[in-house]
Structure 1
């Protein structure tokens, strides 16, 4: 490494963010550009660890450990430290098609498995990654890569989220002709509609889509497979089809009062909010948090994004319920390195809510019991009870209600953010592909469905997951498709 003792000399310096109350006035990204001298210091903290666990890319206890796309992190950290940004960009792009996305919205499992984490705060890998790709665009180093020759093979990709885009990019560079079908009026999938603009500016997504178009990929928008184009036509017109339809079947909350007006799925709210920001046509009634008491059910990132969105719409109050206890400040003995650390953090949304209302909006170990509407069917309150988590001698967890902890919350809007059950089934049935546990039945590393020439990758195959897993699956699936079409593959 450029400075082997850097991790001993320099403390971790986290992302520089705009002031919470200031950024609540707009929908721009909440982070600021990081100074180059700071990035150099942080890259110097990458130690000469011998075995860099940061890019092992495996799952431990169901969670990612290390980078699933096996980014060559120590190598580009060293190049940044030495001021060789162009070389660092080249090294980064060997493994990651879209660092401008992962550098903003990936939860960075690489940092959880950083060797420096054994003795102190990890290297700020995610910040450095983002800085490399941003500098690449700023300096004009990112240019369209037009394949020199075409193979004559045609591939259809259904879905333009990160898995579909990664597969399209790889296969296009192998010389195949790629068409991406998207049912929405903009490409990008959840990158466009599921992630708020303050985390991922939509101009950044648009910039990448424009680049992919310039490189020869055809995007067919406002086109739903099974309705506007039939699966049998795709199979007849293309040599291979890849299903990257995501896992957008949202898990519902089944309880008394669910039908009250004002109860919505979180993703519907986030999608509509982004469409409003982009001035897209919205055919359904608006969901607006202005002057309303908002409750988010679900303690994950999607719920946090609902909190941040409601704040920008000037809600009257906002609370987020999670069923689990508050996380510890440091790793527990059951959560050892190099696992993803489960520790308490202040997400951007919670910093903003604290600045606006004076307290963290999260409530822990909460069970929603029922929703209550007024005489017109409009939601007016929500009833909860506190829960206690217990485990038996085998370590099996269960939750018990704590008598006497019942509470009534005023509520005008409730957003359900308790995860996803799997992929939407209609288009899969029309293709005739088999499913298992609400996911396409296709093996990782193979990606073949039971239908000849039809593959699946990303959340539609593995279930709700991280953007970096989607990119990994898109890349890996592209390699298998290339191999089947050509007899061997040139793809990494």
Structure 2
């Protein structure tokens, strides 16, 4: 590294964000850029550690440790410190097709495994990545680069989320004609409708990259659900290869008493309708409003946090977020050592906004819902909850057990279920007759991505289950490589 003692001399400095009380008034991104000199100082903290766990991309205890797309983090940190931003951008693009997305919404497992993070705050890797790509756009270094030669091969990709887009980008670079099918009215999948605008701006950031991909020769066909609007068999007939990147969009339900009441929705219904209203500048028929309502969000992950931030911007009356797991500790527990992902307490942007609005973190831990209560018109008006403790059953598995005497009733005119996803929707897979694994995901080995149907590949959440955006990009790139090998007999794709 250009500054071998930088990790000793400089403290971690994270970028500032817009004040919660200000940003809840609009749907604009809350990230603030950091001046270049301070970014170079932060890059100098990268410590020439010898074995950079930050870019290993391993699974440790079932969680990502290091960058799943193997970003060359120490290299571009060094280049940023030296002021060589164009070279840093080239290094970043070697492994990451969309740094502007990961630099905003990735939870940064790279920072969780930073060697400096063993006993000091880790390097601000995510912010440096974000800054490199934004400088590239600002300076005009990122321009369309269509392939010089075309192979004549045609590839259909079903789904335009991060896995589908990464695969499309790679296959197009290899010279194939790529068509991406998307059932929604806009391409982008999770990037467009699964993440709120204040985290990832659609018109400025997502659309900017989609325009570039189109200019390079990729075709997007929207409002087309394969298996419904277009027979799946047509893809097998008209294209030389097919890649399924449909995501894991089947939400986990909560089938308890009162589930059929009006006002209980899956989180993605709420988030999708809201983002479409923001983009169309008017509410559509799928818009669900939290304005003036007591809102209860069931689920403590990123999707739940997005529901918190969205509900606050609607002007909800009150807000509670229920989490069945225990509250994480302030520091790593003994059974959560480095380089595992640090399971520690933190407030994400949504909780910060709720605290600014209502005075406290909205999350209630070790709590489960037992019943939904409705009014005379069939609308939800309250939820019944109880505290739980985790105990082992006869099989040695930890399960939540209600604690008698802890029952409560909370007012609720809007309940949002954000408890994760169970796998891909099945109708398309049924129509293809494709083989699935025990979790209902498409059966295709990682590294090969080949399904039970010759010439059909699978990547992303529909293959591995609900996961991170960086794993989706990893899989999209890997599937593109194997698809190219299938089409051409060999491949030069990384």
TM interval, short-chain normalised = over 0.9
Show structure 2 runs of 5+ residues with no match. none
Note the C-alpha offset of 1:429.
1.2
Count of equivalent residues: 492
Which residue of structure 1 aligns with residue 150 of structure 2?
150
Which residue of structure 1 aligns with residue 468 of structure 2?
466
Which residue of structure 2 aligns with residue 325 of structure 1?
326
Contact 2:274/2:283 (CA < 8 Å) preserved in 1? Answer: no
Alignment of 1:85 onto 2:85: yes
Which residue of structure 1 aligns with residue 65 of structure 2?
65
Secondary structure of the 2:304 match is: helix
Per-residue Cα deviation, 1:147-174 (whole angstroms, up to 9, x for no partner)? 0000111100000000000000000001
Segment of structure 1 superposing worse, 280-289 or 270-279: 280-289
Note the C-alpha offset of 1:389.
2.1
Alignment of 1:124-163 (within 5 A): 124-163=124-163
Which residue of structure 2 aligns with residue 489 of structure 1?
491
Alignment of 1:273-312 (within 5 A): 273-279=274-280, 284=285, 286-312=287-313
Alignment of 1:289-438 (within 5 A): 289-391=290-392, 396-436=397-437, 437-438=439-440
Q: 1:235 to 1:303 in 2, by over 3 A?
A: same
Which residue of structure 1 aligns with residue 171 of structure 2?
171
Secondary structure of the 2:425 match is: coil
Which residue of structure 1 aligns with residue 234 of structure 2?
233
How many Å separate the matches in 2 of 1:118 and 1:392? 35
Contact 2:144/2:215 (CA < 8 Å) preserved in 1? Answer: yes
How many Å separate the matches in 2 of 1:187 and 1:282? 20
Contact 2:269/2:286 (CA < 8 Å) preserved in 1? Answer: no
Secondary structure of the 1:435 match is: coil
How many Å separate the matches in 1 of 2:6 and 2:53? 18
Which residue of structure 1 aligns with residue 453 of structure 2?
451
How many Å separate the matches in 2 of 1:266 and 1:107? 20
How many Å separate the matches in 1 of 2:13 and 2:403? 42
Secondary structure of the 2:265 match is: strand
TM-score normalised to structure 1 length: 0.98
How many Å separate the matches in 1 of 2:52 and 2:294? 47
Superposed CA RMSD = 1.3
Secondary structure of the 2:8 match is: helix
Alignment of 1:75-224 (within 5 A): 75-203=75-203, 204-224=205-225
Contact 2:297/2:418 (CA < 8 Å) preserved in 1? Answer: yes
Note the C-alpha offset of 1:286.
3.1
Note the C-alpha offset of 1:400.
2.0
Note the C-alpha offset of 1:391.
4.6
How many Å separate the matches in 2 of 1:158 and 1:137? 28
How many Å separate the matches in 2 of 1:309 and 1:282? 14
Q: 1:393 to 1:433 in 2, by over 3 A?
A: closer
Q: 1:7 to 1:394 in 2, by over 3 A?
A: farther
Secondary structure of the 1:278 match is: helix
How many Å separate the matches in 1 of 2:114 and 2:373? 48
Which residue of structure 2 aligns with residue 245 of structure 1?
246
Alignment of 1:36-47 (within 5 A): 36-47=36-47
Alignment of 1:26 onto 2:26: yes
How many Å separate the matches in 1 of 2:8 and 2:396? 39
Secondary structure of the 1:427 match is: helix
Contact 2:57/2:64 (CA < 8 Å) preserved in 1? Answer: yes
How many Å separate the matches in 1 of 2:207 and 2:174? 23
Note the C-alpha offset of 1:287.
1.0
Note the C-alpha offset of 1:229.
1.4
Per-residue Cα deviation, 1:411-454 (whole angstroms, up to 9, x for no partner)? 01000000000000001111221112110011101111111110
How many Å separate the matches in 2 of 1:421 and 1:344? 26
Alignment of 1:257 onto 2:227: no
Note the C-alpha offset of 1:316.
0.3
Note the C-alpha offset of 1:62.
1.1
Secondary structure of the 1:384 match is: strand
Note the C-alpha offset of 1:86.
0.4
Note the C-alpha offset of 1:283.
6.0
How many Å separate the matches in 2 of 1:447 and 1:116? 35
Note the C-alpha offset of 1:281.
8.2
Contact 2:7/2:46 (CA < 8 Å) preserved in 1? Answer: yes
TM-score normalised to structure 2 length: 0.98
Per-residue Cα deviation, 1:216-255 (whole angstroms, up to 9, x for no partner)? 0011111111122111111111100000000000000010
